[in-house]
Amino acid sequence: MGTESRFKMSQERLAELKEELKYLQTTREKEVAEQIKEARSFGDLSENSEYDEAKTEQGKLYSRIAELQNLIENAEIVEMVAAAGKVGHGSKVKVRSVERGTVEEYFVVGSQEANPMEGMISSDSPFGRSLMGHGVGESVVVEAPAMQFRYEILEIEN
């Protein structure tokens, strides 16, 4: 494996990635090959924008296939179960910002499922790491480049 890193994800996310890879390697690859074939039939390739677009699409496709293969080969399945009363993978956590007084809710997930805009934070992120293993009533400090943020854990659902 060398210097490759592991990508934390649930079994469900791994299945989604495998399904996408299968689609790209079969259906989508044939579609792009057909686009290239059709564009070649238009004649002079040096001034053929359809051909250039199809080749660009093929490059993007192969790049995504390589990315998916890397993710799948280096997947680390994390169990979405945490110790009772503690934050872990799969926990739904309600926290209160000590500085702002606002209450927020997050799901702690693997790095490949993180989507902060939807309240899904990676256990590898600074915020996720600071929550891991802590319980209700505990305060955590999140280290940011410019300052620190403090949160109090209000509720945990595992």
- Looking at the structure, tell me whether residues 98 and 48 fall in a common domain: no
- Looking at the structure, tell me whether residues 107 and 152 fall in a common domain: yes
- Tens-digit pLDDT profile for residues 66-115: 999 999 999 888 775 556 788 988 889 999 999 999 999 999 988 888 89
- Looking at the structure, tell me whether residues 59 and 105 fall in a common domain: no
Residue 83 within a domain = no
Residue 17 within a domain = yes
Of 77, 107, 125, which residue sits at a domain end?
77
- Looking at the structure, tell me whether residues 119 and 57 fall in a common domain: no
- Looking at the structure, tell me whether residues 22 and 63 fall in a common domain: yes
- Tens-digit pLDDT profile for residues 124-133: 899 999 999 9
Range name among 2-16, 110-124, 141-155 with the lowest pLDDT average: 2-16
Range of the domain at 143: 92-157
Q: Where are the beta strands (DSSP E) in the chain?
A: 7-9, 75-77, 92-97, 103-109, 120-122, 139-143, 148-157
State pTM to two decimals. 0.66
**Residue 4: which pLDDT band, with cuts at 50, 70 and 90?**
low
The count of structural domains within the chain is 2
